[in-house]
């Protein structure tokens, strides 16, 4: 959709207007210039405001969900201006919450994974308003909706703050829509819906574990900076998105999203044995892959033959599943040798793997210091 300028009125009946990098501008400054039965814009919507008074609708959202906003001026804007609106279906960047941030005793520590941004085209004079956000969620259950609040910040480098007073918050189970308002606000910037981990996390995605190809690597589908892994109820020393599953068992993962730990994933029962061709303590003995010496102290030598033209991945993994060494090589000769540096490793049992289209060749390596 290209840039469009509307000088009259528009009534949205259904459908989604995908703007991409384009802008839809309504230059008619009356609050009734845009009416909506259904449908919304995905992208930037601009509306003119001239001595604005009353309610102005901004029907924005995602390709699949309505995330509209309504700005109801109780103190009119003086003079001419315009207001740009946009909804972002990602967590707000650089989130900073003041210490003990709360509204009437209700703690606010995290936000939903989306936010709204309003910017005046010309500086606004006056214009106290009530803002109402309609957030269609991906859940039919939302406990504690009354404990959610609209928060505001000047820009991405500023901390979240409370402006005005809380209006109301209600969740419609049928439409899966949270409607929440805040009264007595002035100035425009970024808005989000905040709450505690207990109520915001209820609509966050639950992690899912999957196997990476035909390997013994498991991964979580959610993007985060911190993860927790468990096998048969016991915590593993791995905080990354991927895990080398060296032992048969039932695996569960959690992720930290916006400062809150998600619920645990469904159990993923996994047995790495079918994906390992050999597991011999004396060395990788496929006849084409050999590891020596074993035990080793400073250097372990890996000799690979008859892999000409293959791309292989060599990994050294600790007994707790941590990746200690990894490299990928394309074999351009009948014989390839790799010296694995063990000088910074502690004594213990490790696993050396050679992964290629021929399969995964694995061996225990005993490191003795």
42 and 176 both lie in a single domain? yes
Rounded Cα distance between 212 and 61, Å, is: 33
Q: Are 23 and 113 part of one and the same domain?
A: yes
pTM of the model: 0.61
Identify the domain boundary among 150, 169, 203. Answer: 203
Whole-number pLDDT of residue 204: 54
Nearest-angstrom CA–CA distance, 269 and 248: 8
Q: What pairs with residue 60 in β-bridges?
A: 41
**Residue keyed to tokens 């699949």:** 64
CA quadruple 163, 168, 171, 177: dihedral sign: negative
Query: 49 and 186 share a domain?
Result: yes
User: In the block, which residue shows the tokens 């213990």?
Assistant: 348
Both tokens of 15, joined, read 């459908």
Q: What is the pLDDT of residue 288?
A: 67
Among the candidates 154, 182, 203, a domain finishes at 203
Task: Tell me which of 203, 233, 249 is where a domain ends.
Answer: 203
Both 87 and 219 in one domain: the answer is no
* Strand, helix or coil for residue 5: strand
Q: How far is CA 264 from the centre of its chain?
A: 16
| Cross-strand partners of 117 | 86, 190
Residues 237, 316: one domain?
Answer: no
Residue 127 sits in the same domain as residue 260: no
- DSSP-derived letter for residue 100 is T
Residues 72 and 187 in one domain: yes
Predicted local confidence at residue 257, as pLDDT: 73
Contacts of 48 by beta carbon, 8 Å cutoff, 6+ apart: 25, 26, 27, 28, 29, 80, 81, 82
For residue 15, what is the DSSP state?
A: -
22 and 62 assigned to the same domain: yes
With a cut of 50, which residues of the chain have pLDDT below it? Answer: 202-203, 275-287
> Mind listing the pLDDT tens digit for each residue in 122-175?
877 778 999 999 999 887 778 789 999 999 999 988 999 999 999 999 999 999
- CATH number where 293 lies: 2.60.40.3080
Could you tell me if 89 and 222 lie in one domain? no
What is the spatial distance between Cα 85 and Cα 79, in angstroms, rounded to a whole number? 19
Regarding whether 126 and 187 lie in a shared domain, the answer is yes
- Asked if residue 112 and residue 166 are part of one domain, the reply reads yes
Question: 306 and 252 share a domain?
Answer: no
| Number of domains the chain contains | 3
Q: Which domain holds residue 358?
A: 276-367
- CA 216 to centroid of chain Cα atoms: 25
């Amino acid at each position: 959709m290209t840039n469009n300028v509307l000088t009259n009125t528009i009534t949205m009946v259904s459908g989604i207007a995908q703007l991409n990098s384009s802008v839809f501008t309504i230059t008619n400054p009356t609050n009734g210039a845009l009416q909506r039965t259904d449908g919304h814009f995905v992208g930037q919507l601009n509306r003119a405001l001239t001595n604005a008074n009353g309610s102005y609708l901004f029907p924005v959202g995602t390709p699949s969900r309505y995330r509209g906003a309504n700005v109801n001026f109780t103190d009119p804007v003086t003079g001419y201006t315009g207001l740009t609106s946009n909804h972002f279906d990602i967590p707000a960047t650089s989130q900073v919450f003041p210490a003990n941030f709360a509204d009437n005793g209700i703690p606010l520590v995290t936000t939903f994974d989306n936010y709204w941004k309003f910017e005046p085209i010309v500086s606004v004079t006056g214009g106290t308003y009530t803002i109402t956000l309609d957030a269609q969620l991906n859940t039919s259950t939302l406990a504690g909706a009354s404990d959610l609040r609209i928060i505001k910040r000047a820009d991405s480098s500023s901390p979240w703050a409370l402006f005005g007073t809380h209006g109301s918050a209600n969740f419609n189970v049928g439409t899966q829509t949270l409607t929440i308002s805040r009264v007595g606000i002035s100035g425009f910037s970024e808005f989000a819906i905040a709450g505690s981990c207990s109520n915001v996390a209820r609509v966050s995605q639950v992690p899912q574990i999957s196997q990476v190809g035909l390997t013994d690597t498991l991964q979580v589908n959610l993007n985060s900076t911190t993860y927790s892994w468990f096998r048969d109820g016991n915590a593993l020393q791995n905080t990354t998105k991927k895990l080398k599953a060296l032992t048969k068992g039932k695996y569960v993962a959690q992720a930290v999203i916006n400062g809150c730990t998600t619920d645990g994933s469904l159990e993923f029962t996994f047995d790495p044995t079918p994906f390992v061709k050999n597991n011999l303590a004396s060395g990788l003995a496929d006849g084409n892959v050999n590891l020596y010496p074993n035990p080793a102290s400073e250097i372990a030598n890996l000799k690979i033959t008859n892999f000409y033209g293959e791309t292989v991945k060599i990994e050294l993994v600790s007994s707790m599943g941590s990746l200690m060494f990894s490299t990928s090589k394309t074999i351009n000769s009948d014989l390839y040798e790799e010296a694995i540096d063990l000088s910074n490793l502690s004594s213990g049992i490790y696993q050396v793997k050679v992964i290629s289209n021929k399969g995964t060749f694995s061996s225990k390596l005993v490191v003795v210091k």
